[in-house]
A and B are shown apart, each in its own frame.
Chain A
Amino acid sequence: MLNCKEVVRLISSEDKLSFIQKTELKMHLLICKHCSNYNRQMDSLSKGLKKIFSIKSEENREKIQELEKVIIDNLSKKK
């Protein structure tokens, strides 16, 4: 059985989990409140960041278009 510390490693890990690891992880999250809270926090963290950054990039849309023009002009002069 996995302990909480190992579960936290697996949740934040970038490694591809094996079938057994995935199953053990799911089982642990079902019975452990702390780890399931941690897991949900990590999930909201990544969603929250995506949301904030998509708002930011929407706000910057015009600025980026201007920037594209300037860059293309400058690079064309470089020839």
Chain B
Amino acid sequence: MSVNSLNQRFSQPNFIESLIAMDHSSIEALVKAYTGHLYNAAMGMGFNSDESSELVQNTWETLFDILPNFKGNSHIRTFIFGVLYNKARELKRERFKFNQHEQIDQIMEDRFQENGSWKHGIIDPERFMVASQTLEIINDCVEKLPLTQKMAFSLKEINGEDTTEICNTLDISVTNLGVLLFRAKNRLRECIERKVEV
């Protein structure tokens, strides 16, 4: 089945009811559709493969416990990823979703002169490209991001999710999501650039 027809099927009220009733074929369809995505998202947030497996199992367990509370305001997929994200935050004991100020904001400020032009040039995009496809470099730089930035970034850039759905999943405003993504991208860029310069 195509992604679209799957999404449509999962949006129908009777599908959600069949899940609450623990209908085997509905459970199977849902688990098969999203377990891979959840697992990859967990890995993307920096958990190792065992931790990711456990996190995904806990996510499904909890999901079926709280499913009767699902109001259908967003897609079931958003709801599932929201559970994963909250489990991940518990595990990492990360308290804040959004900081008003972060070091990267100042770093970006300092990149520019008063008239808004760059102070210094940026490194050659070719060398940067090679570095951004190197597994060790990417792992290392992604690792350093706060969890919420990682999650926002991977939902947007890797899964290509819709902005509204990401805001629902992370429970943040569109403005804050914009800031998170700006920080995540620029932190990664700075980190990769530093590694190329060494």
B40 in contact (CB, < 8 A):
yes
Given A52-B133, A67-B53, A78-B64, is A60 in contact with B43 using a C-beta cutoff of 8 Å? Answer: yes
Given A3-B116, A6-B116, A45-B188, is A72 in contact with B28 using a C-beta cutoff of 8 Å? Answer: yes
Say what secondary structure dominates the interface of chain A. Answer: helix
Give the distance in Å from the alpha carbon of A60 to the alpha carbon of B24 in the complex: 25
In contact, A67 and B135 (Cβ under 8 angstroms)? no
Give the distance in Å from the alpha carbon of A32 to the alpha carbon of B2 in the complex: 43
Give the distance in Å from the alpha carbon of A60 to the alpha carbon of B28 in the complex: 20
Given A12-B181, A48-B133, A56-B43, is A34 in contact with B118 using a C-beta cutoff of 8 Å? Answer: yes
Give the distance in Å from the alpha carbon of A71 to the alpha carbon of B28 in the complex: 9
Within 8 A of A (CB), among B181-197: 181-182, 185-186, 188-189, 192-193
B189 CB contact (under 8 Å) in A13, A45, A63: A45
In contact, A37 and B57 (Cβ under 8 angstroms)? no
Query: Contact mask A32-76 → B, CB, 8 Å, 1/0?
Result: 011101101110111111111101110011011001101110111
Give the distance in Å from the alpha carbon of A2 to the alpha carbon of B56 in the complex: 45
Return 26 A-B CB contacts under 8 Å, by A number.
A4-B112, A4-B117, A8-B108, A9-B182, A15-B178, A34-B118, A37-B122, A37-B123, A45-B188, A49-B158, A50-B157, A53-B40, A53-B158, A55-B135, A56-B43, A57-B39, A61-B36, A64-B39, A67-B57, A68-B31, A74-B57, A75-B27, A76-B22, A78-B22, A78-B64, A79-B22
Apart from A49-B157, A67-B39, A75-B60, 5 more pairs, CB < 8 Å: A41-B129, A47-B132, A47-B133, A64-B35, A78-B64
Chain A positions near chain B (C-beta within 8 angstroms): 3-6, 8-9, 12-15, 33-35, 37-38, 40-42, 44-53, 55-57, 60-61, 63-64, 67-68, 70-72, 74-76, 78-79
Chain B positions near chain A (C-beta within 8 angstroms): 22, 24, 27-28, 31-32, 35-36, 39-40, 43-44, 49, 53, 56-57, 60-61, 64, 108, 111-112, 115-118, 121-125, 128-129, 132-133, 135, 138, 142, 154, 156-158, 163, 174, 177-178, 181-182, 185-186, 188-189, 192-193
